Structure 1
Amino acid sequence: MEEEVKGLDDYLNIIVRRKYLVIIPAIILIIASAVVAYLLPATYKSEGLILIESQEIPADLIKSTVTSYADQRIEVIKQRIMTTSKVMAMVNKYNLYPDLRQKSPASEIVALFRDSIGVEMVEANVTDPQSGRGKRATIAFRVSFMDKSPQLAQVVANDLVTEFLNENVRTRTDRASETKDFLQEEGDKFQRKVQALEKQIADFKDEYSDSLPELLEYNLSMVTSLQKELADNQNQSMVLQDQIMTMSLELGNLPPYLEKNTSVVNGQKATTSEQQLAQAQSEYNSLSAKYSPQHPDVIQLKRQIESLQTELGIEPSEVARLTTELQQAEDELQQAKQKYSDEHPDVKSLMVRVKMLNEQLSEAEGQAKSSTSSVVKSDDKGQINPIYLQIKSKIDSSEREIVRLRDRQKDVKDKLTSFENRIYKTHQVKRAYDDLTRDHENNLAKYKELRAKQLEAELGQNLESENKGESFSLIEPPLVPTKAEKPNREKILIMGVGASIAAGVGLAFLVEILFGGARGYKEISRIIGRAPLVVVPIITTQKDLIKRRRLRNRIIFIALILLALMVVAFHFWVMNLEVLWFKVLNKISLL
């Protein structure tokens, strides 16, 4: 059996045969479309155009702290303005949706208000100054509001535009202020870290003041100097010991006293100068016991003794030598104090040397006086031999010098040990000291970097507060609309007519498919494969009509009950029907 294929004539026959199913729904729907198109309330739209102006001052000079794209920032501002609290404040302020507010929750009113707001970006082709390539950029945007009242649409739109302008200024200012405050807080943290590290370094230097890495060269030089001084002292001690042995031998060959009215020097009679020297030394000792070293007579005798000693080739006394060394040491101490503080090692060393020379000078002067007073002039022995006295004095001076050198060697050894310990500790503390200084340098560099960024942030904040950065400018304020924005009644009517006809034709074909059967001579011939002998039409009795009418009424009744139950359930469990009606109207008005 061949598959049944219907042609255009068959479809036209269906439409003609089911003409009432096509015409009646089409007429009903066309009337409903016309009623909806002309009874829908007019909605007016008021909008304002806001221009996005770039930063007045070049970004190379002052960088703004707000770096987001304009469309992102606009969307953020929109979300802040569209919060439930602000939306409800506007709804209450302008008394929007008075009937709906009494029956619907706030969330549905807020959703309806948000649907009435429009934010549309205005883009243009621009050239990127950095890459030189063309791109699409947002240069402005439109803010609109739709309402049944043109006056309310204009007032609310104007309020929304003002909110966008104010919120942009507030957002940029707050962002700049937050950036500056954050950088300042971070800078203060690093400042405290730097100060703490500086205190640690200062405490570390106080604890290891003599073993710091920067003193390593000085400590090494002091070790070298002390080692050299120790060797020199040892050599000098050996030389003095040799001199003492030699002078002791010479002293053993000399008589300590001269015969009466004579003086002997090395077994020879003394000259007049030698007698004068002995007499001058005796008088000098007597005057020194009575007067101070600054007395004119003492000074004159001292000069006379020095002159006679020079004439006889005798070296100056120990007192004179120590006096000269003391004067030199005091001069060196004054020069050192002009360069360094009293705590400097050189100054301390010179102060110790001056003190030591003062003690040695006092001791030498006392011994000189006692030596002279101890020599008793005897009528039997005669006058003291000056050469013997001179050699004896040299031996005593050398022995004292050896004692001094030994004491000095002990001090030098102690200092040498101290400086060697400093050098040993320097290698131990260097690692900890380097860690502290490295942390200090890193934190100081970060602190300086944050302070520089903070300065930039402060300039950016001033840029925003003085409205020199990127800003929004209102170039077209919202006006009271004179023409309804929607609905488009002609469009709704045309679409309604087309949909009505399509619905009627569709209903006819649906019924044909469900309750079709074989109709007409051609269909019967096509089904049985041959022409029928007789075609008898369907004979409908009154009983069949009553039965068909009852069935139709039952179906319509059940459908109405089900529809009512669905509407009630939707109203209570899904969405309020009034809100649904407003949304449907908005969607229809978009057409």
Structure 2
Amino acid sequence: MMPSEEVGIGQFITILKIRKKFFIIPALSVLVVAILVAGLLPSIYESSSTILIEEQQIPQDFVRSTVTGFADQRIQSLTQQILSRVKLWEIINQFNLYSDLRDRLTREEITEKMRDGIKLNTISAEIADKTGGRRPTQTTAVTIAFSIAYRGKNPDMVQRVAGTLASLYLEQNLKTREAQAQSTTQFLEAELKQLQERIKGLGEKITAFKGQHEGLLPEQQEFNRQQAARLEMDIKQLDATMRSAEDRRIYIEGQLATVKPDTPLIGATGERVMAPADRLKTLEVAMADLQSKFSEDHPEVRKAHREIAELQKMVGQTGGSAAIRRQKLTQLKAELAAKQGKYSDQHPEVKQLKNEIARLEQAPKTASPPRPVAEPENPAYISLTTQIKGAEADIASLRTQQAGLKDKLQMYRQRL
């Protein structure tokens, strides 16, 4: 087997020696062509700028940014705006690009040639994805940057055009973000206003509902129970106080039953001394008897008048009894009729009787009200009566308080 292998290798070497021109000539031809192409073709320069996509400062829990989720779409949108024919033609005129082709190519063809010289590449990285309920250890590809490159013959011009393109991306992105921020702000302000109005309306409804159902709300049930329990205790205390006041009144009434209202006063001679009111009654009766017997000028009548006047001042009365005045008026009218039968109207006695009758007829208009019933004179009786009135007033006040507490208790029980 070894001799055959050596023969095979030798034959191969022999073939190379015999046909070496078939291998060397094509290789040299390719090399010469490559050198000619490299020397004859113009130099092409490329300048690129890399733009980093920064992470948003606001946490994603509050605002989900479009930079992270839609970076590619955002870059494509900016590219369509910047690489439009209008923008590219402005750049061409700004840097006087393709001046040698303007006579041979149309405007559209020149802008298309420049678009072909612009190259856009996105740069992605694998990062941990903590959103969407995924595990932090899982990674996902996210666009973190992109590069914009421009190729041309003039290196200085290529660099300037590439910088201009990068600046346009940044400026256009800033304008777009500002417009989005403004529209978002307006939207949020409108939403905030609507929410504030809605919250205000709900607050007014809640306030009105609480006012209409005061004391009936669930959070007020414990308060209602406490108030009902307190009112029940207050009513029990009032019941005990009222029973005590009733017992006290009954006890005083029992004592009052054993005491007489009038206690006779005994003078130094052992005779009973009449009270001013009783003395006035006696003198008024005696006065009527004296006036039926004597004239007004009689000493006894005048004395009786003086005593009656003094007693009237003592008991608070300014005029005589109505019955006595009527009796005296009837008597004087009878005397006047008798005198008029004997004398003329100009007679002194007739004039005197007329004046006296006129005075008595006018007396009721200025007279004071009838004298009240004589008050009790016994101090013990008066004291017990006062105590009974005080006890009755206390009982009435306690009953009023009890009625008010019962009304409140009924209200709180209805709320439970």
Normalization by structure 1: what TM-score?
Answer: 0.35
Greater relative contact order (Cα 8 A, min sep 6): structure 1 or 2? Answer: 1
User: Which structure has the greater CA radius of gyration?
Assistant: 2
Normalization by structure 2: what TM-score?
Answer: 0.47
